[in-house]
């Protein structure tokens, strides 16, 4: 029997997502290399340490712009309501494989992650500009650059931790990767994980 599918992401949305994701991977690799001496060898991914140092902020700007497009695509799906609070309180039950509540397009965890990503992106851009030696750092006093460096590293660590959870959830919930790879999900996936969204998409009661 042919499985019934629902479109979840268009090709443009998927390209947008994977551009952001690849930028993130390159930024995390080069950022960790600058942050901690034991990871310095990771600059080899870019050819030379100098190239990594030069490219990191430019890739950061591409990631920010890519995420900004994602932000305006999805923010209205990510407002947290009472249903999501219930989901968050019962996250232990969800982890055991039982869904909680009448979930719409995204669940409480995904919505929380969306806002964490948004805050981190904003802090990373603002502080990244302040510490961008070649163009902007000269305009700021050293104490401001120091605070910006600290906030840049803190928000990068928060984002890396968040993305580890995001990727784990994407792989752990069977059928989710397909949403971002092929753009579609099965009726069974939607009915189980996002029942309210399923009804909205199919017009079923």
Residues near ligand HEM (CB under 6 A): 8, 17, 20-21, 24-25, 67, 70, 74, 77-78, 106, 110, 114, 117, 163, 166-167, 170, 176-177, 179-180
- Which position among 17, 56, 152, 166 bears the catalytic label? 166
Least distance (Å) between residue 138 CB and ligand HEM: 29
* Residue 12 CB-density burial (10 A; 0-12 exposed, 13-18 middle, 19+ buried): exposed
> Which of 139, 161 has the CB closer to ligand HEM?
161
Comparison of 21 and 147: residue with beta carbon closer to ligand HEM: 21
Quick check: 184 and 2 in contact, CB under 8 A? no
Residue 157: which of 110, 130, 115, 124 has the closest Cα?
124
* Nearest distance in Å: CB 143, ligand HEM: 30
Q: Burial-class residue 88 by CB neighbours within 10 Å (0-12, 13-18, 19+).
A: middle
Q: Is 166 a catalytic residue?
A: yes
- Close Cβ partners of 132 (under 8 Å, ≥ 6 residues apart): 57
Smallest distance from the beta carbon of 85 to ligand HEM, in angstroms? 16
Nearer to ligand HEM, 13 or 86 (CB): 13
Residues catalogued as catalytic = 166
């Amino acid at each position: 029997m042919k499985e019934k599918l629902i479109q979840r992401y268009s090709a443009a949305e998927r390209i947008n997502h994977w551009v952001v994701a690849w930028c993130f991977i390159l930024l995390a690799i080069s950022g960790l290399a600058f942050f901690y001496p034991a990871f310095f060898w990771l600059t080899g991914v870019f050819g030379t340490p100098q190239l990594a140092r030069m490219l990191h902020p430019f890739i950061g700007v591409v990631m920010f712009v890519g995420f900004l497009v994602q932000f305006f695509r999805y923010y209205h799906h990510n407002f947290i309501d009472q249903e999501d609070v219930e989901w968050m309180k019962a996250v232990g039950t969800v982890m055991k494989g039982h869904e909680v509540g009448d979930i719409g397009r995204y669940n409480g965890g995904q919505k929380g992650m969306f806002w964490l990503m948004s805050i981190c992106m904003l802090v990373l851009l603002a502080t990244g500009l302040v510490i961008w030696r070649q163009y902007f750092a000269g305009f700021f006093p050293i104490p401001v650059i120091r605070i910006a460096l600290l906030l840049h590293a803190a928000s990068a660590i928060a984002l890396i931790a968040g993305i580890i959870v995001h990727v784990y959830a994407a792989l752990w919930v069977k059928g989710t990767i397909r949403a971002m790879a092929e753009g579609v999900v099965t009726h069974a996936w939607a009915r189980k994980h996002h029942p309210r969204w399923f009804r909205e998409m199919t017009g079923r009661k």
